[in-house]
């Protein structure tokens, strides 16, 4: 007799998928990196429980826009908010502002959170934890540093306070000559303020080589309507005043009156809770991560300013905190913690800023940094028109190109000019990522028409000069 086989369903349970769907993702910090992790994770895992804990009053804002808010380019600081708490909550992402994470307990997969409004502490469990605690300004132990009208610029509140104070004063001191203070210098000069900038190094913007930094410094002094004084090779040692700052003394004995000070003398990564939890730090002092943004402890990721990066040219660890990098790292962390696979290859430290009409940009290694890393460098500095000389809006660009004598590999580019200096650096940074040589750069087919460049682009002029120097 023939047996009848009853049909039946086989149910296969994908436990990993189920786990991912109900995964509890906890993120510490919510500005650039943390906000990116939350948004990307939500797109990848629509049912995961996602929470951001931040001691800040806002999430997802553009600190990079603060100097332009202070300058008065726009009136409402809310324009700096990329995505509000309410918008995150509409995507079912829990936002806990004014909540500081005080401890990570990796064995229990918990964190301890302190509500800064009422000082209450509580535990929160996680399946995956992301540390995006960023960086904070470094403030040396100046005497009287707690006087009123002495600021650092990091948060929205800092920006609001600096703008409000700037409007009431005439004499301002900037400590440090990095990107942020160059942007503030423009803001203050455009508002008609007298500014004294004090820089420890021989030139401002010391990430650039001195030949380029000195050109930037000269441009600033020539384009400030006599409002700017730059003191280099010196440091501020003491602030004077009873309640509000009234003056500044430097280590070399300069003294001058001031009504307001902004200290932007570098930043440091926020690693205290990570270090306390036993997470490995790198040689730069920032959190060590692999290319998947994983820390040394399972299921804990780190991204943004708090973690160390790999320099793509030298393949060595570096700490260059930038918003552009924080966003990319946040995305990679999210993909991996949600079960995918993506790598973050490293950085070139590509950056751009401006003072008035002067665009200032660099990518890769400066010559001095390349030499510190042991490269035998060859470099050229070329100044050329940015478009055909007969075009009405023609401007000069100065480009410095650095190469390795042995391999002929391009190591870095620095460009300044009232023309499109940053576009030149961006083009070269694609080549830097691909590790191209001077000869290969000469083979790149660049565009030309009179309103856009010269028939021989400055990139090719510089590469041609480098090639002849190398041979
Ligand atoms: C004025 C200014 C201009 C800038 N301009 C540029 C620019 O033009 N281009 C560019 O690429 N970059 C720029 N940057 C740098 C850029 O803003 C940062 O690289 C970027 O914000 C880093 O993002 P992040 O999320 O890693 O860290 P952060 O922005 O530092 O955010 C970290 C957050 O974590 C919170 N946090 C820290 N510890 C805890 C804790 N224990 N518990 C809870 N919360 C915690 C902090 O309060 C903070 O809100 C600028 C920065 C400033 C200040």
Confidence check: pLDDT of 13 > 60: no
Mean pLDDT over each residue of the chain, to the nearest integer: 95
Instruction: Express each pLDDT in 222-258 by its tens digit.
Output: 999 999 999 999 999 999 999 999 999 999 999 999 9
SS3 sequence, 279-323?
CCECCCCCECCCCCCECCCCCEEECHHHECEEECCCCCEECCCCH
Q: Which of 27, 270, 301 to mutate to test the pocket of ligand 1 (most atoms within 8 A of CB)?
A: 270
Give the Å distance between the CA of 196 and the centre of ligand 1: 26
Average pLDDT over residues 203-217: 97
Give the Å distance between the CA of 24 and the centre of ligand 1: 24
Instruction: Express each pLDDT in 146-164 by its tens digit.
Output: 999 999 999 999 999 999 9
Please tell me the predicted confidence (pLDDT) of residue 419.
Answer: 84
Strands 317-318 and 247-250: unpaired
Q: Which of 80, 305, 331, 333 to mutate to test the pocket of ligand 1 (most atoms within 8 A of CB)?
A: 305
Whether the Cβ atoms of residue 440 and residue 460 lie closer than 8 Å to each other: no
Average pLDDT over residues 293-321: 98
Whether the Cβ atoms of residue 119 and residue 102 lie closer than 8 Å to each other: no
User: How many whole angstroms separate alpha carbon 352 and alpha carbon 426?
Assistant: 10
Please tell me the predicted confidence (pLDDT) of residue 16.
Answer: 56
Instruction: Express each pLDDT in 266-300 by its tens digit.
Output: 999 999 999 999 999 999 999 999 999 999 999 99
Closest residue to atom 37 of ligand 1, CA basis:
133
Average pLDDT over residues 394-402: 97
Give this prediction's pTM. 0.94
Please tell me the predicted confidence (pLDDT) of residue 22.
Answer: 81
Confidence check: pLDDT of 185 > 90: yes
Q: Which of 29, 69, 183 to mutate to test the pocket of ligand 1 (most atoms within 8 A of CB)?
A: 29
Reported confidence tier of residue 344, pLDDT bands at 50, 70, 90: very high
Which residues lie with the beta carbon below 6 Å from any ligand 1 atom?
28-29, 31-34, 53-56, 63-64, 66-67, 100-101, 132-135, 153-154, 180, 270, 273, 304-305, 321-324, 326
**Ligand 1: nearest atom to the Cα of 99:** 43
Confidence check: pLDDT of 308 > 80: yes
Higher pLDDT, 400 or 141: 400
Average pLDDT over residues 295-324: 98
Confidence check: pLDDT of 458 > 70: yes
Reported confidence tier of residue 9, pLDDT bands at 50, 70, 90: low
Confidence check: pLDDT of 57 > 90: yes
Give the Å distance between the CA of 332 and the centre of ligand 1: 18
Average pLDDT over residues 329-357: 97
Q: Which of 100, 174, 322, 348 to mutate to test the pocket of ligand 1 (most atoms within 8 A of CB)?
A: 322
Confidence check: pLDDT of 64 > 90: yes
Tokens linked to 345: 């290859």
Give the Å distance between the CA of 228 and the centre of ligand 1: 28
Confidence check: pLDDT of 425 > 60: yes
Confidence check: pLDDT of 6 > 90: no
Closest residue to atom 27 of ligand 1, CA basis:
134
Reported confidence tier of residue 11, pLDDT bands at 50, 70, 90: low
∠ CA 199-202-204, rounded to 5°: 50
The C-alpha R_g of the chain, in whole angstroms, comes to: 25
Instruction: Express each pLDDT in 70-86 by its tens digit.
Output: 999 999 999 999 999 99
Give the Å distance between the CA of 184 and the centre of ligand 1: 17
User: How many whole angstroms separate alpha carbon 192 and alpha carbon 167?
Assistant: 10
Average pLDDT over residues 103-110: 98
Average pLDDT over residues 308-331: 97
pLDDT more than 90, % of the chain? 94
Tokens linked to 71: 């300058």
Confidence check: pLDDT of 8 > 80: no
């Amino acid at each position: 007799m023939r047996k009848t086989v009853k049909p039946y369903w086989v149910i296969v349970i994908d436990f990993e998928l189920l786990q991912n769907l109900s995964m509890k993702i906890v993120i510490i910090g919510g500005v650039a990196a943390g906000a990116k992790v939350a948004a990307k994770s939500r797109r990848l895992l629509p049912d995961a429980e996602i929470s951001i804990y931040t001691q800040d009053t806002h999430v997802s804002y553009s600190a990079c826009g603060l100097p332009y808010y202070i300058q008065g380019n726009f009136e409402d600081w809310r324009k700096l908010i990329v995505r509000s708490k309410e918008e995150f909550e509409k995507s079912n992402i829990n936002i806990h502002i004014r909540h500081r994470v005080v401890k990570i307990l990796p064995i229990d997969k918990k964190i301890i959170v302190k509500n800064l409004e009422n000082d209450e502490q509580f535990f929160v469990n996680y399946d995956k934890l992301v540390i995006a605690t960023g960086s904070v300004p470094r403030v040396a132990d100046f005497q009287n540093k707690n006087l009123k009208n002495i600021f650092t610029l990091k948060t929205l509140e800092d920006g609001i306070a600096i703008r409000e104070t700037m409007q009431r004063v005439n004499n301002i001191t900037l400590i440090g000559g990095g990107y942020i203070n160059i942007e503030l210098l423009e803001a203050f000069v455009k508002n008609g303020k007298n500014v004294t900038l004090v820089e420890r190094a021989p030139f401002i913007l010391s990430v650039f080589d001195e030949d380029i930094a000195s050109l930037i410094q000269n441009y600033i002094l020539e384009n400030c309507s006599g409002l700017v004084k730059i003191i280099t090779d010196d440091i501020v040692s003491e602030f004077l005043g009873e309640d509000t700052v009234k003056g500044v003394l430097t280590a070399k004995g300069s003294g001058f009156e001031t009504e307001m000070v902004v200290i932007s003398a570098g930043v440091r990564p926020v690693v205290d809770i990570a270090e306390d939890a036993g997470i490995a730090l790198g040689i730069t002092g920032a959190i060590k991560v692999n290319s998947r943004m994983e820390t040394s402890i399972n299921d804990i990721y780190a991204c943004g300013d708090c973690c160390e990066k790999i320099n793509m040219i030298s393949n060595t660890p570096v700490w260059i905190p930038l918003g552009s990098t924080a966003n990319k790292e946040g995305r990679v962390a999210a993909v991996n913690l949600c079960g995918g696979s993506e790598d973050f290859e490293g950085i070139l430290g590509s950056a751009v800023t401006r003072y008035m009409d002067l665009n200032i940009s660099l990518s890769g290694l400066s010559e001095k940094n390349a030499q510190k890393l042991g490269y035998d460098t060859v470099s050229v500095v070329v100044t050329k028109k940015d478009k055909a000389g007969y075009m009405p809006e023609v401007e000069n660009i100065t480009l410095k190109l650095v190469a390795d004598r042995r391999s002929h590999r391009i190591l870095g580019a620095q460009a300044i000019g009232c023309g499109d200096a940053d576009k030149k650096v961006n083009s070269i940074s694609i080549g830097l990522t691909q590790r191209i040589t001077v000869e290969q750069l000469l083979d790149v087919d660049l565009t030309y028409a009179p309103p856009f460049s010269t028939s021989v682009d400055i990139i090719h002029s510089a590469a041609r000069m480098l090639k002849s120097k190398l041979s």
